[in-house]
Amino acid sequence: MTVADFTTSTVKYILSSNPDEPGIQYGRYLEYLETIKSSLPDHIYAFASHEKYFTLNSPHSLHDAWLSSVEVRETRNKERPFEPVVGVTLKLLGQLHDRTIVLEYKEVCRYELNGKPNRSNWADTFHGDVFTHEVRIEKKGVDHPRDRIRERFNLPHRVP
């Protein structure tokens, strides 16, 4: 089972830790991905390393995407109904508001979703927007944290 932890404070490689050089450090993140490539499923590595999902002006980027919907499913079998398999689907409105980006998570062992109004900007989205994201290996599995939208889900996922 793989675990994805989506919290604001968990990105480790893509954001600069140097206050003199703040911002996204895509090169450092790609270097890290090469060290874990053999441990990732091919489709997760392809998503995690493809520039179009990170480039700030790409319509495929998760940057500035807004949460449109969350669907949580519990699938049970008749023999073991007390051991449900949980799946989560996130639908994000792309940054150009011209597409829906779907992230599909299977065998979820834990999730959390928080939202609140932006008191500084009432027109802003309730869950904020995605600043950046990263995939990495942790003791419990594969993490895919994103900044500002807080959830905990499992991988793998599908991106159109």
Alpha-carbon distance of 156 to 108, in angstroms, equals 10
- Range from 39-48, 72-81, 125-134, 141-150 carrying the lowest mean pLDDT: 141-150
Structural domains in the chain (count): 1
| Domain-embedded: residue 160 | no
| Domain-embedded: residue 28 | yes
What is the mean predicted confidence (pLDDT) over 141-146?
54
Strands 85-93 and 136-138: unpaired
pLDDT digits (tens, 9 = 90+) for 76-95: 988 888 888 888 898 999 98
| Domain-embedded: residue 158 | no
Encoded amino acid at 157, one letter: H
| Domain-embedded: residue 143 | yes
pTM, 2 dp: 0.70
- Range from 39-48, 74-83, 87-96, 102-111 carrying the lowest mean pLDDT: 102-111
- Per-residue pLDDT at 119: 77
- Name the DSSP letter for residue 25: -
- Per-residue pLDDT at 3: 42
Q: What percent of the chain has pLDDT over 70?
A: 78
| Domain-embedded: residue 159 | no
Six-digit token pair at 19? 């206050």
- Per-residue pLDDT at 10: 64
| Domain-embedded: residue 52 | yes
Give the domain range for residue 147. Answer: 4-153
Band of pLDDT at residue 71, cut at 50, 70 and 90 = very high
- CB-CB neighbours of 132 under 10 Å: 21
- Name the DSSP letter for residue 38: G
- Per-residue pLDDT at 115: 77
| Domain-embedded: residue 20 | yes
